[in-house]
A and B are shown apart, each in its own frame.
Chain A
Amino acid sequence: MSPWVPLLVMMLIGLGFGVVNIIASNFLGPRHPTAKKNMPYECGIEPIGNARIRFSVKFYVITMLFILFDMEAVFVYPWAVVYKQLARSGLFVFMEMALYLAIIFAGFVYVWKKGALNWED
């Protein structure tokens, strides 16, 4: 269990930072609410309409592709850990990842050429 203690401490500090700040600002900060201050914050611009509008499907495409390339990155992680160990017996371990990335890269070229990453069209 011991290697997980630093991670646990980090998570507790992260959680504590957020919670303490919210609670402390509640007690320490001055409070003079006005109509302007209570307006929804939209980068200083007067709010226009509801925030719940229909978002473009482009966000969905981008996220979908993000997940797929995320999955790819997940496999690179154990590969990087064992690379030195396996590379002693030749270039095979390098070539297998090269082939893997080449196949994914074909998908990337497809996405690019299809214009799925183009925001304006």
Chain B
Amino acid sequence: MTTVFFLIFALTAIGAAVAMIFQRNPVYSCLCLVLAFFALAGLYVLLGAPFIAAIQIIVYAGAIMVLFLFVIMLLNLSAEERERPKRPRFLPFAVAVGGLLLLELALVFRRAPLLGMPAGQSETSVEEIGLKLFTDYIYPFELSSVLILAAIIGAVMLAKRKI
């Protein structure tokens, strides 16, 4: 049963990611990526990490992708821009980075079987995360608020330079 769900989510994620690359319209690409993120959330559930799955949907599929959509709208891609065939100007870089990732994947697959990996033996509940976070990891937790504060100030400074 778990394997069936794994295959559904994994194939959805791969399919959506491939569709994202082959879309000409960047807005469609963005929506394909949302679907891929949803499928990843399903995979997190199968790995026994429901909290990460919820955050994946709330933060990535929700907030980050809205940001991506707004960035696409900011860029003002006209129809000619979208339909022009891509010039392979960055081909060497793309091949280098892609080859590196492929090598990495090959190394991983050499060591681990494709199916039936022993991940997610026990489910980590939100309660467990909360207990750890607010007792043992209290200092990093408080520090993260400073990080968010810095990011807030950075976002305002970046986008509103005139103030």
Contact = CB atoms under 8 A, between A and B. Distances in A.
Interface of A: 1, 4, 50, 52-55, 57, 59-61, 63-68, 70-72, 74-75, 77-79, 81-82, 85-86, 93, 96, 99-101, 103-104, 106-108, 110-111, 114-116
A60 B54 CA distance: 24
B159 A57 contact: yes
Given A53-B76, A78-B130, A61 B159 contact: yes
Contact of A64 (B45, B77, B135, B159): B159
B151 A68 contact: yes
B83 interface: no
Nearest to A74: B55
Interface residues of B, number: 46
Interface of B: 1-2, 45, 51, 54-55, 58-59, 62-64, 66-67, 70-71, 73-79, 126-127, 129-131, 133-135, 138, 141-142, 144-146, 148-149, 151-153, 155-156, 159-160, 163
Contacts, number: 130
A60 B142 contact: no
Majority DSSP secondary structure for residues of A touching B = helix
